[in-house]
Amino acid sequence: MQNVTMREVRDFAVPHNSLALWWLGQAGFLIKSPGGTIIALDPYLSNSCKAVGESIGVDMDRLVAPPLAPTDLAGIDAYVLTHSHQDHLDPETLEIYRAAGGIGPYVAPPQTMDKLRALGVPESEIEMTWPKKEHFIGDLQLQTTFAIPFGADDLTHVGYKVRLNSGCPRDSEGRILFYFTGDTAYHEILVNGWDDKAPDAMIAVINPAFRNLGPIEAARLAKQLDASVVIPCHYDLFRDNSVPPQMLRTNLIIEGIGERYRVLEHGKAAVFSGEL
């Protein structure tokens, strides 16, 4: 693991038509554009889930310390959320972020909005999202994608496409595209509903213990979407929700695209470039 500070993130130079990615653990990421726009996606930077796990008899004590302090998030351009579960919308991370001066916009689906309001976030700072909805943040363009939740406690899960904003929403060809699956089960609608170029990088959850994509389903989806690079996440923090990431590589090999596998290191920048 490599610790990172927001100063390092701000000072990091992102090349033209590229995006930089820092994995924060679980399904949390920082994304930075060439223009300096920084968004946080599902940052879980505390150990608040330990108590949640103890209440249901599951070990959710962090195995790895957070690579970034929640206070360092202050100054990001958007706080983006896929759903309301505590390892995605973390009350402790949010509280420290806001105490350090962090504000919205918070991009969130409906049930996550309810939780944000309950945690004291003003309505004026929240932007509702839903599948196909677009958000423009600096020189980044987000489009929300469909996701299939595993339980009835939150039925408004989403994922996200993230790309550079050219100023023309229909001008998508050639611009670098990330696809974050969010917590979702596999279904053919994830493929049939895809109306975009192939992802330059697909960041896939692999946590089948909680009925989301496992290595088999993530590899199948990556093959069907023709993702150029396939990155696993959501396998690393909790003893009772861990999967060896190499199992994704094995299944990508079975699908004939094993060379597309890439595993990230917590807190270390990774740059992905598109073609113009």
Distance CA 259, CA 246 (A): 12
Is 170's pLDDT higher than 90? no
Q: Can you give the pLDDT at residue 165?
A: 86
Q: What does the buried/exposed string (b/e) look like for 184-216 if buried means 16 or more CB atoms within 10 Å of the residue's CB?
A: bbbeeebeeebeebebbbbbbbbbbebebbbbb
Residues 63-89, mean pLDDT to the nearest whole number: 97
Distance CA 169, CA 120 (A): 33
Concatenated DSSP letters of 61-76: -BSS--SS-GGGGTT-
The fraction of the chain above a pLDDT of 90, given in percent, is 92
Residues 121-126, mean pLDDT to the nearest whole number: 98
Cis amide linkage into residue 105, ω under 30° from 0: yes
**What pTM was estimated for this model as a whole?**
0.96
Percentages (nearest 5) of helix, strand, coil residues in the chain? 25, 25, 50
Lowest mean pLDDT among 10-19, 169-178, 247-256: 169-178
Q: Can you give the pLDDT at residue 70?
A: 97
Phi-psi region of 132 (alpha: psi -120 to 50; beta: other; left: phi over 0): left
Q: Can you give the pLDDT at residue 250?
A: 98
> 7-56, pLDDT tens digit by residue?
999 999 999 999 999 999 999 999 999 999 999 999 999 999 999 999 99
User: Looking at this protein, which amino acid is placed at residue 128?
Assistant: M
Outline where DSSP puts E strands in the chain.
18-25, 28-32, 38-41, 78-80, 106-108, 126-128, 134-137, 140-146, 158-164, 177-180, 201-205, 230-233, 269-273
Q: Can you give the pLDDT at residue 242?
A: 93
Is 80's pLDDT higher than 90? yes
CATH of 6-270, one of 3.30.540.10, 3.40.190.80, 3.10.310.70, 3.60.15.10: 3.60.15.10
Assign 174 a pLDDT band (cuts: 50, 70, 90). low
> 130-140, pLDDT tens digit by residue?
999 999 999 99
Q: Can you give the pLDDT at residue 276?
A: 36
| Three-point CA angle 216, 222, 225, nearest 5° | 140
Assign 175 a pLDDT band (cuts: 50, 70, 90). confident
> 215-247, pLDDT tens digit by residue?
999 999 999 999 999 999 999 999 999 999 999
Residue extents of the structural domains in the chain? 6-270
**Those residues with Cβ within 8 angstroms of residue 121's Cβ, 6 or more apart along the chain or in another chain:** 94, 98, 104, 106
Could you tell me the CA-to-CA distances from 63 to 46, 51, 168, 238 in Å, in that order? 12, 14, 43, 6
